[in-house]
Amino acid sequence: MSHYFKIGKLAASHGLKGDLVLQHSLGKKTSLKGLEYIFIEEQKDSFLPYFVEWAKIKSDDEVYIKLEGIHEKETARKLTPREVWITEADFKKFAAKSSPIALLGFNIINEGEDLGEILEVIEQPHQVLCAILLNGKEALIPIHEDSLEKVDAKNRKVYVSLPDGLLEIYR
């Protein structure tokens, strides 16, 4: 199975011809030029591809997008609010290197212990939460100035120093 990265959601339909507004967290203004398809998760770990006819910038974190086969407002509305995923190769092409979402796929290391791969990045006003699987359960690891030690982009690792007891909640 290919590795998919969640980049945002289809937030709304736009106009009468089935155009959609994609809210993304790629960390930079982008028209998604060259993106051939997006994936929408129909069921857990079951992704359906939708071919992109065109996309154009709406704002720093929104793009107007037209999907093949979606020609009416009513059909477009059925796709909102659905999460949008893209392949790892496309993610690397479109995500800003300095944005929090660029940490997807990195491993979190706490005091020498590899806690696991970052599966989701949730941006909040004062911190970023990284979702990982710890002992089969989803664990949310806070990343902020007090907990982040360093990011090793070359080896795809995020080094943190977590408060005592935080991981015990998930173990």
Which structural domain range is residue 127 located in? 100-169
The closest alpha carbon to 39, from 108, 91, 99, 101, belongs to 91
Residue that is last in its domain, among 94, 128, 147: 94
Report whether 104 contacts 5 (CB < 8 A): yes
119 and 165 belong to one structural domain = yes
pLDDT in tens, 1-38: 357 888 889 988 898 898 999 988 887 888 888 889 89
Q: What is the CATH number of the domain that holds 54?
A: 2.40.30.60
Residue that is last in its domain, among 44, 71, 94: 94
pLDDT given for residue 2 in this prediction: 55
Q: What residues form DSSP beta bridges with 24? A: 8
Task: Tell me the C-alpha distance between 10 and 24, whole Å.
Answer: 9
Domain count along the chain? 2
Residue that is last in its domain, among 78, 94, 110: 94
Q: 23: buried, middle or exposed (CB in 10 Å: 19+, 13-18, 0-12)?
A: middle
17 and 84 belong to one structural domain = yes
pLDDT at 56 over 70: yes
Q: What is the CATH number of the domain that holds 144?
A: 2.30.30.240
Kindly state the DSSP code that residue 35 receives in the 8-state scheme: -
Assigned token pair, 149: 């030690």
65 and 35 belong to one structural domain = yes
For residues 37 and 127, the model is more confident at 37
| Mean pLDDT of the region 165-169 | 83
The model carries a pTM of: 0.68
